[in-house]
Structure 1
Amino acid sequence: MSCDHGHRHSIFCVLPPYLLDEIARNGTPSQRQAALKTKSMDHTFRSLRLSGLSGRSTRTLTPSAAAVASPVAAVKRRTIYSANQTEALPGTLVRAEGQAASGDVMVDEAYDGLGATFDFFAEIYQRNSIDDAGLALEATVHFGKDYNNAFWNSVQMVFGDGDGELFNRFTISLDVIGHELSHGVTEDEAQLQYFNQSGALNESMSDVFGSLIKQYHLKQTTDQADWLIGAGLFTSKVKGVALRSMKAPGSAFDDPVLGKDPQPRHMDQFVNTFEDNGGVHINSGIPNHAFYQVATRIGGFAWEHAGRIWYQALRDARVKPNASFLAFARVTLDVANTLYGAKSPERQAVKDGWAAVGIAL
Structure 2
Amino acid sequence: MNEAYDGLGATFELYADVYDRNSIDGRGLPLDGSVHYEKDYDNAFWNGERMVFGDGDGQVFGRFTVSVDVIGHELTHGVTQYTAGLVYKDQAGALNESISDVFGSLVLQYSHKQTAAQATWLIGQGLFTARVKGVALRSMKAPGTAYDDPVLGKDPQPATMAGYVETEDDDGGVHTNSGIPNHAFYLVATGIGGYAWEKAGRIWYDTLLAGMKPTTDFAGFAALTLAAATKRYGEGSAEADAVRAGWSGVGVAIDGGGAS
TM-score (norm 2): 0.97
Structure 1 residue 350: deviation in Å?
0.2
> In the TM superposition, what are the counterparts of 1:168-183 in structure 2 within 5 Å?
168-183=62-77
**2:257 corresponds to which residue?**
none
> In the TM superposition, what are the counterparts of 1:155-234 in structure 2 within 5 Å?
155-234=49-128
Structure 1 residue 185: deviation in Å?
0.3
**1:5 corresponds to which residue?**
none
Which residue type is aligned with residue 249 of structure 2?
Answer: A
Residue by residue over 1:176-231, the C-alpha shift from the partner in whole angstroms, topping out at 9 and shown as x without a partner, is 00000000000000000000000000000000000000000000000100000000
Distance 1:157 1:203 in 2: 16
Asked whether 1:339 is paired with 2:241, we answer: no
**Equivalent residue in structure 2 for 1:245, among 132, 139, 142:** 139
Distance 2:215 2:25 in 1: 21
Distance 1:351 1:285 in 2: 18
**1:348 corresponds to which residue?**
241
Structure 1 residue 243: deviation in Å?
0.3
Asked whether 1:235 is paired with 2:133, we answer: no
**Equivalent residue in structure 2 for 1:273, among 167, 172, 175:** 167
Distance 1:143 1:328 in 2: 35
% identical aligned pairs = 65
Distance 1:143 1:343 in 2: 50
SS at match of 2:33: strand
Distance 1:328 1:166 in 2: 35
For structure 1, the 5+ residue unaligned runs are 1-106
Structure 1 residue 150: deviation in Å?
1.4
Which residue type is aligned with residue 182 of structure 1?
Answer: T
For structure 2, the 5+ residue unaligned runs are 255-260
**Equivalent residue in structure 2 for 1:154, among 25, 37, 48:** 48
Asked whether 1:110 is paired with 2:4, we answer: yes
Which residue type is aligned with residue 277 of structure 1?
Answer: D
Residue by residue over 1:14-39, the C-alpha shift from the partner in whole angstroms, topping out at 9 and shown as x without a partner, is xxxxxxxxxxxxxxxxxxxxxxxxxx
Which residue type is aligned with residue 235 of structure 2?
Answer: A
Structure 1 residue 163: deviation in Å?
1.2
**Equivalent residue in structure 2 for 1:288, among 177, 182, 186:** 182
Distance 2:58 2:224 in 1: 43
Distance 1:218 1:344 in 2: 28
Structure 1 residue 238: deviation in Å?
0.1
SS at match of 1:111: helix
Which residue type is aligned with residue 37 of structure 2?
Answer: F
**2:223 corresponds to which residue?**
330
Structure 1 residue 348: deviation in Å?
0.2
Distance 2:218 2:252 in 1: 8
Distance 2:59 2:174 in 1: 27
Structure 1 residue 330: deviation in Å?
0.2
Structure 1 residue 149: deviation in Å?
1.4
Residue by residue over 1:277-330, the C-alpha shift from the partner in whole angstroms, topping out at 9 and shown as x without a partner, is 00000000000000000000000000000000000001101x100000000000
Which residue type is aligned with residue 331 of structure 1?
Answer: L
Structure 1 residue 351: deviation in Å?
0.3
Q: What's the Cα RMSD here?
A: 0.5
Asked whether 1:320 is paired with 2:248, we answer: no
Distance 1:149 1:351 in 2: 35
What count of residue pairs does the alignment treat as equivalent?
254
Which residue type is aligned with residue 20 of structure 2?
Answer: Q
TM-score (norm 1): 0.70
**2:32 corresponds to which residue?**
138
**1:95 corresponds to which residue?**
none
Distance 2:162 2:123 in 1: 23
Greater share of residues in helix: 2
Distance 1:147 1:336 in 2: 41
Residue by residue over 1:83-119, the C-alpha shift from the partner in whole angstroms, topping out at 9 and shown as x without a partner, is xxxxxxxxxxxxxxxxxxxxxxxx0000000000001
